[in-house]
Amino acid sequence: MDYFLELFLGGLTRGSIYALIALGYTMVYGIIELINFAHGEIYMIGAFTGLIVISVLTLLGWNTVAVIVIAALVAMIYSAAYGYTIEKIAYKPLRGSQRLSALISAIGMSLFLQNYVLLAQTSNFLPYPNLIPEFTFVKPIEHIVRSTEIVIYIATALVMVGLTVLIKFTRMGKAMRAVAQDRDMAMLVGVDVNRVISFTFIIGSSIAALGGVLVASHIGQVNYYVGFIAGIKAFVAAVLGGIGSMPGAVLGSLVLGWTESFFTGYISSDYEDVFAFIFLVLILIFRPAGILGRSQTDKV
Amino acid sequence: MLELLDINTFYGNIQALKGVSLEIAEGEIVTLIGANGAGKTTTLMSICGAVPPRSGEIKFEGRAISDMRPNEIVALGISQVPEGRRIFPYLSVAENLDMGAFLRDDREGVKKDVEYIYGLFPILAERRHQAGGTLSGGEQQMLAISRALMARPRMLLLDEPSLGLAPLVVKRIFEIIRKINAENKTTIFLVEQNANLALKVAHRGYVMENGRIIMSDRADQLLTNEDVRKAYLGI
């Protein structure tokens, strides 16, 4: 039973991490129908930014909780600036051209950012200090779940609640939904579509950066390549849940996280990624729009 | 109020409007009639900024608007009911109306206007929580007009409001168009393929062919004009 619980919570951790990245994919896809392949790199840049801030503030002897909070905030802001800039220079000029062009531009951006960080930092794995405090109430169940994981759950839950409120009740959220459903018409009721698109990139990027800092703290290391695998997995999760749907991204992430966790736990850990992709293939065969996705037939 | 001066609009290399000039005075209902593909919708797209003209000038109350973006033009008081209605399919009826008032800050006024709309079209009040995409064609057209009215426009652009609707529904829609013009003093620019109907509600009309305005006159004059009758009224 303990083993099952451990796998369940481990899956929940993976799922939460995927969700933090998948939300950005799905939001951007919902608004401009682009798979932003550079999104994983935003996550990686967030983790690196966090590491730099942590190193500096730790040297200055700051309190660890303050350090991790400030590091996460700085990483979010810095990555948001990256997301905003990427959209402006790599995607906006291609708006209105074929979708393939923007997709290729996204892949190029992803490779560029990876290699940029490789050159600017190092190709080695850098150790990542875990400054998230050990909660005393976790002590008795330490063998099943760690404090960092609990922080990841809470952060993901807060992000989900925050996004739901944003989308449902704010003016910008309404504008986002309108743009997602009919961009030209949204413009004709007075929505500034460029602002909505920029805003979407900013929000998606800052959530990914938060994920980057938390995951790197959890795993204990980071390098320039971590965004690639995490990004691909989160992309699978977003497609699984129905790309363009935010509840779908979260659900798809959790399903993927649990699938990986249980398969590796009960069958074999050598085929972790294989299970994820077999699952993706099955979903695409039997439910191409994803779990919560809308079929495209009603789109005129 | 609105003035188009010799505008030329292109889709890529294809010229859709060839030196179009027209004028609409405050409080008027003006219609633009013509066959399919004559350039009527393009004229509206040029006015609202979605497909800006390559040359020529568009002035709204003396101010050049040809270089402005669509959302800036809406803010000046020009609202559009586009061809095909373009209801936000997954937003509820109430949310669709709310989107129409996107640029307005006066919550009280918006609330009052929603009530006014529900009085105008009681069916929309009944369906206020239903997703826009589930409405019938006629209901969607009512919603599209209502959404445009929610911006409290001083000028309303209507693109083929009769398209694909049952005759009774069309009659109701045109009554409303006349009412909006009479009661709110909203200026109306109506693009229609159904020339007979359009000329009956309009004060003046323009006839368009192959991207050019070929005729303009008072609506009642056009209704009795031999050429117009032959070409567009099927008589």
pLDDT tens-digit series, residues A47-81: 999 999 999 999 998 898 999 999 999 999 999 99
Q: Which residues of A80-97 are buried (b: 16+ CB within 10 A; e: fewer)?
A: bebbbebbeebbeebeee
Per the domain annotation, does B19 fall within a domain? yes
Residue B21 CA, distance from chain mean position: 17
Contact between A189 and B151 using a beta-carbon 8 Å cutoff: yes
Residue B133 near chain A (CB below 8 Å): yes
Residue A186 near chain B (CB below 8 Å): yes
Per the domain annotation, does B175 fall within a domain? yes
Contact between A177 and B91 using a beta-carbon 8 Å cutoff: yes
Tell whether the model's pLDDT for residue A297 goes beyond 50: no
Gyration radius of chain A's alpha carbons: 19
> Which residues of chain A make contact with B80, given a CB cutoff of 8 A?
188
Helix axis angle for A193-219 and A147-169, nearest 10°, is 170
Contact between B86 and A171 using a beta-carbon 8 Å cutoff: no
Q: Which of A204, A167, A42, A62 is nearest to A114 (CA)?
A: A42
Domains identified in chain B, total number = 1
Q: A17 and A226 in contact (C-beta within 8 Å)?
A: no
- What mean pLDDT is predicted for residues B126-136? 92
* pLDDT in the model for residue B163: 87
- What mean pLDDT is predicted for residues B213-232? 86
Q: pLDDT tens across A141-166, in order?
A: 777 888 899 999 999 999 999 999 99
Q: Could you tell me what percent of chain A has a pLDDT over 70?
A: 98
Q: CA-CA-CA-CA torsion for A285, A287, A293, A297, nearest 10 degrees?
A: 90
Contact between A189 and B75 using a beta-carbon 8 Å cutoff: no
Residue in B with minimal Cα distance to A179: B88
> Which residues of chain B make contact with A31, given a CB cutoff of 8 A?
none
Q: Which two tokens stand for residue B90?
A: 């997954």
The Cα B68–Cα B53 span in angstroms is 11
Contact between A185 and B82 using a beta-carbon 8 Å cutoff: yes
Chain B interface disruption, residue of A95, A184, A188, most B CBs within 10 A: A188
Per the domain annotation, does B101 fall within a domain? no
Residue B223's contacts (CB-CB under 8 Å, 6 or more residues apart) are B196, B199, B200, B229, B233
Q: pLDDT tens across B26-70, in order?
A: 999 999 998 888 899 999 999 999 899 999 999 999 899 988 999
Per the domain annotation, does B99 fall within a domain? no
Query: What percent of chain B is helix, strand and coil (3-state, nearest 5)?
Result: 40, 30, 30
Contact between A192 and B71 using a beta-carbon 8 Å cutoff: yes
Among the partner-chain residues A174, A177, A190, the one whose CB lies closest to the CB of B103 is A190
Tell whether the model's pLDDT for residue A124 goes beyond 60: yes
Tell whether the model's pLDDT for residue A298 goes beyond 50: no
> Which residues of chain B make contact with A181, given a CB cutoff of 8 A?
88-91
Q: Which of B198, B193, B95 is nearest to B147 (CA)?
A: B95
Contact between A174 and B88 using a beta-carbon 8 Å cutoff: no
* pLDDT in the model for residue A295: 63
Dihedral angle sign, alpha carbons of residues A150, A153, A154, A155: positive
Q: Could you tell me what percent of chain B has a pLDDT over 70?
A: 99
Domain ranges of chain A: 2-226
Q: B24 and B155 in contact (C-beta within 8 Å)?
A: yes
Q: Give the DSSP letter of residue B92.
A: B
* pLDDT in the model for residue A98: 86
Contact between A181 and B90 using a beta-carbon 8 Å cutoff: yes
Per the domain annotation, does B113 fall within a domain? no
Per the domain annotation, does B179 fall within a domain? yes
Residue B50 near chain A (CB below 8 Å): yes
Q: Which of B42, B34, B36 is nearest to B17 (CA)?
A: B42
> Which residues of chain B make contact with A185, given a CB cutoff of 8 A?
82, 86, 88
Q: Provide the residue range defining the domain that includes B167.
A: 2-88+153-233
Contact between A175 and B75 using a beta-carbon 8 Å cutoff: no
Q: Which two tokens stand for residue B171?
A: 């009659």
The Cα B196–Cα B220 span in angstroms is 10
* pLDDT in the model for residue A272: 79
The Cα B225–Cα B222 span in angstroms is 5
List all residues of chain A from 150 to 179 with a beta carbon under 8 Å from chain B: 171, 174-175, 177-178
Residue B94 near chain A (CB below 8 Å): no
Residue B70 near chain A (CB below 8 Å): yes
CATH number of the domain bearing residue B216: 3.40.50.300
The residue to which tokens 């409080």 are assigned: B27
Residue in B with minimal Cα distance to A192: B71
Mean pLDDT across chain B, nearest whole number? 91
The Cα A246–Cα A241 span in angstroms is 8
Tell whether the model's pLDDT for residue A299 goes beyond 60: no
Contact between A188 and B98 using a beta-carbon 8 Å cutoff: no
Say how many residues make up chain B.
Answer: 235
Per the domain annotation, does B146 fall within a domain? no
Per the domain annotation, does B184 fall within a domain? yes
Residue B75 near chain A (CB below 8 Å): yes
Q: Which pTM value belongs to this model?
A: 0.89
> Which residues of chain A make contact with B147, given a CB cutoff of 8 A?
189
- What mean pLDDT is predicted for residues A38-55? 95
Q: Which two tokens stand for residue A107?
A: 């892949």
Residue B71 near chain A (CB below 8 Å): yes
The residue to which tokens 């190709």 are assigned: A123
